[in-house]
Every structure is written in C-alpha cells, then in structure tokens.
A = this chain, B = another copy of it.
Amino acid sequence: MTVASDIEIARAAKKKPIREIGDRLGIPEDALLPFGHDKAKISAEFIDGLKDRPNGKLILVTAINPTPAGEGKTTTTVGLGDGLNAIGKKAAICIREASLGPCFGMKGGAAGGGYAQVVPMEDMNLHFTGDFHAITSAHNLLSAMIDNHIYWGNELEIDQRRVVWRRVMDMNDRALRDVVTSLGGVANGFPRQGGFDITVASEVMAILCLATDLADLQRRLGDIIVAYRRDRTAITCREIKADGAMTVLLQQAMQPNIVQTLENNPAFVHGGPFANIAHGCNSVIATTTALKLADYVVTEAGFGADLGAEKFMNIKCRKAGLSPDCVVLVATIRAMKMNGGVTKDNLGSENVDAVRDGCENLGRHIGNLKSFGVPVVVAINHFISDTEAEVAAVKDYVASQGAEAYLCKHWADGSAGITELATRVAQVADSGVSQFAPLYRDELPLFEKIEAIAKRIYRADEVLADKKIRDQLRQWEADGFGDLPICMAKTQYSFTTDPNLRGAPRGHSVPVREVRLSAGAGFVVVICGEIMTMPGLPRVPSAEAIGLNDAGQIEGLF
C-alpha cells in the first residue's frame, strides 16, 4: 500500500475561497482582508463589534511529555475540529503560526499531518501574512532607537553594559547569538556586546499574543524594560518613545488570520511565541474572536502538558479571562512504549507490558490537569503498528485514573476517524462540569509561585535558587511586579530538569539558573537549565535541497 505524504495530501486539497470559510462563521466579506484567495485577516472593527456575543466552548489539546516517537498534538487539534464539524457542531480551531527560519534547518513543520492538516501548507511555513516579519521590524526598531538614543547623548543615562533588549531575526543563525555592535569609529556609535534571538523568542511576540486589542498592545509594548541605569533603575520602551511606532508596525499583525482545514473547516492561525521563555500559545485575540464566532473552539498549547497546558492555564487563561471547558490529552502507543523503556527501533513490535509501564507519565498529566478543575479526555492517536491489546492497556489505565481514552484515526481517515472522541468532548464541554481555577493566586510571592508549579505539577521536592535570584524576585515584588504569573523555561522531555528522566519521576529538585522579567508580556521567566533562543543550522541544512520544481511547486520544504 502506498501512503500519500503530507505534502501530496495538502497539494491535492480542494480549498474553498477564503470568503466562503469566513461566511461559515458569519464574517462578512468586507470584514476579511484577503491575502491571496486562501488566507485572510479579520478586521479590527468587526472584532470590536463581537464583544456582546456569548462565548463558545473552549477545548485545549495538550500532550504527554514528547518522545522521539511523536504524539501528533497539532494533528489531533485539526482532527478534532474537523470531527466536531462532522458531527454537526459549529467548530473552529486555533493554532500557532510557524517560524520561517527553522524550516531551512530541518524540514518544515506541516500544520498537522495525514488527513488532518491545515492549508495552504507552503505559505504557512514561509511568509504567510507577514506577521512575523512585522514583529521582527517592530522589535528591531526599538533596538535601533536604543542605540540611537545613546549615540545622541544618552539623556536617559542608559548603562551601556545593561542594555537587555537584543535584536531578532527569523533565521537559524548561530553567528548572531553573541556579537559586538557599533564598531568602526565615532559615526557608528558606542561599541557594546549584544546579540540576536530568533523572532519567536521576542517579547514583542509574547505581547502580541497576550494583547486584547491595539490599545492594550501599545500599553504592553511601552512597559517593556529595555535597559537599566547604573543605579539599576529600569528604562522602558515608553521612555525611548518607540511604543507608538511599534504599534503602527504591528497594527495589521494584530488581526487574526483564518485559513482552512483539508475538510474546509475554519482554522485561526495566529501568533507563535516560544514555549520556553514565553507561553507558547496562539494569540488571545484569535482565541477570543473564535469563541465569539464558533460554538466550539479547539486550541493547543506547546510542548507537554507540564509546560504548555500549565502556561495556558496560569498565563493565558488567567490574563485573558478564559476558562477551558475540556482538555484533550494526546498520547500514542509508541510514546507509551518509549516511556516504558523500548528503543526507537523496536517500536513496531507489540509490547503490552512496556505500554503499561509507560503509562505513568500519562497518569501524572491526567492528575495535574484535573487539579485545574477541568475535565480530561485522552486521545490515543492511532499508528498502524498499534495492536488491540496495547490500546486496551492504555484505555484500562486511563480508566483507573478516572478518565476516558478514545482511539482516534484522524491521521488516516480525517474526521471520520475521530467522531467518537468529538462526540464525547462536545458532551463534556456542554455539561458545564468544568470548574477552572489557576494553580496559584496573583498575590502569592513569586518564589512561592515557582514552588507551586514545581511541587504540584513537576512533583519536585524543592526549588533550588541562590540568594541572588531570591533577592531579584523580592526586588521585582517591591517594584510592583509581584502579581505577575510565572513562565517556566525547562526541558520539555521530562517533568524534571533532566531531559533523560522519562516517566513520572519523584524526589527531584528544580534548580533555578536565572530569572528574567518580561514586563510587557506580563510574566517572570524562570530558567532551569540551558535555553537556546537562537538555533543554528545543521551540517546539511534542509535549505540545500529546497527549490522550485518545473511546475513552480516548492520541493524539499517538507
């Protein structure tokens, strides 16, 4: 049997004009700003007019700790959206935009896979509607204005050693991680050490994804701390007077994008902040807009549930006033097996014991998610090699944890393969049983917030942080930032800070290496371990094989 590749399936998609997709959600044509015939932004005026409408049900798709076997979180998000539409519900999905740079390193991430994809795939992996380019421009305008301020006399008394605002580029370019700028003499300014992050790591990205409207966007941009004086007082973007121009550069990027799934259902694709130093979810404005236009909104969070869902709950939902009605936790038999100790080469053979052993990781995520007061349904994303006995073992285990698991075949069959899950998710969401509450209160001291996450989500015994870090947190509390939520940056592969510790470890410690204040985005980043904010290219970058074929189609990108 020949299985069609993701790109072959995507190219064969029978896309509908984007105005028809908008029409399905009741968006009039003049409220759609088209980008080609298959992409559009939704106008700010139209979104403003939705305020008084009731919200649909919010469904979060998250996953166990990722394994090299792959879990299929986005695929399941797309499939579930299609499944809900297939059973007669008015549903939309909300996912993140892809970053352009990394596509030239490793092969680009498709938006979903198999028969559960979002199209147009090529555009979504390249320039799309230009949002990330706008973020790059806005970020670097601020950078230029900081050095320009110093150049023309430094009235704000910026300590040139303490400029914390770097530059960004949407490219994997390790040469830019650490640079010295303003060389070449008097006309080029004052030399200092700086560097570039990849655009998705920009605080501007996090801000765009948390802002509720343009006024909120500008306020948050203004709050960004760009540098410190010798006396350690902070200097903000507002003092540099860049917030207005940055808002202008981001005006269009703030409008959510809609595209469609292979089954012609609406998909909001907007924003894509890093899931480590930022919160890793699509934009608040996309989610809130989708909730006004659809009865069910399926969205996803980055990484595993310990990072992605935790931030979705404690940062995005808290700040945007959102309340999830159901969580779908994605797992695969293969990932269970890997967690149970099977090596990648042996994933194809039945091993019920290993599956059972590997379920511990799944079980802990179920418990964690329930602690937010939200009902959990497990989606087993089917692979061809899964056996009935293995699937039964997972279902039994999930039942023992007080939840239900459904086998889903959306990758192979599209919506037809996921109607059982969709039906149950709709029931759960409609039931009103969700009693969502974040994990910690705004008033809790910052260090205790970190402990709450480490102990109740990671199940660590303790958080290790030296005096300098604890003092810094206390200083921020004194400066009025004590009510911010925490954004944890640690490995996605384990509940611990050691990526090799799979399963559900206990008795570990969480060492805090560094803390950073994202005053504009509105969270304190807590870094545990090495965090890379500018990737490099591999020895043979995928770019070498990317090109147009004779039909003008893109080859090598996927």
* A residues at B contact (CB < 8 Å): 30, 33-37, 44, 100, 104, 126-127, 130, 133-134, 136-137, 140-141, 143-145, 147-148, 151-152, 167, 169-185, 187-189, 193-195, 214, 218, 241-245, 247-249, 251-252, 536-537, 539, 541, 543-548, 552, 554, 556-557
Contacts and interface: CB of A to CB of B under 8 A. Distances in A.
Given A100-B137, A241-B544, A544-B241, A183 B179 contact: yes
Given A169-B140, A183-B179, A245 B130 contact: no
Contact of A145 (B44, B136, B541): B541
A553 to B, nearest CB: 10
B33 A536 contact: no
A108 to B, nearest CB: 11
B184 A183 contact: no
Contacts of A180: 179-180, 183
26 contacts: A33-B36, A33-B37, A34-B35, A104-B141, A126-B249, A137-B171, A140-B169, A140-B171, A143-B175, A144-B175, A145-B537, A148-B541, A174-B182, A174-B187, A176-B181, A178-B188, A179-B179, A179-B181, A179-B182, A184-B195, A214-B552, A242-B543, A244-B544, A247-B547, A251-B548, A251-B552
Given A151-B175, A247-B548, 10 more contacts: A30-B37, A104-B144, A140-B169, A144-B172, A144-B175, A148-B536, A177-B184, A178-B184, A244-B545, A248-B547
A222 to B, nearest CB: 11
A258 to B, nearest CB: 15
Nearest to A29: B37
Contacts of A541: 145, 148
A132 to B, nearest CB: 9
A116 to B, nearest CB: 25
B130 A147 contact: no
A151 B538 CA distance: 10
B188 A181 contact: no
A185 B178 CA distance: 9
Contacts of A174: 147-148, 151, 182, 187-189
A187 B177 CA distance: 10
A44 B553 CA distance: 12
B548 A244 contact: yes
A246 to B, nearest CB: 8
A432 to B, nearest CB: 38
Contact of A175 (B134, B172, B188, B537): B188
Contact of A127 (B134, B185, B218, B548): B134
Counting from the closest, the 7 A-B pairs by CB-CB distance are: A244-B547, A178-B184, A133-B133, A144-B173, A245-B543, A147-B175, A245-B546
Contacts of A241: 543-544
Contacts of A194: 175
Contacts of A545: 244
A532 to B, nearest CB: 9
A134 B127 CA distance: 7
Contacts of A169: 140, 169
Nearest to A41: B36
A476 to B, nearest CB: 27
Given A37-B34, A151-B536, A140 B248 contact: no
A14 to B, nearest CB: 16
Contacts of A148: 174, 536-537, 541
B171 A144 contact: yes
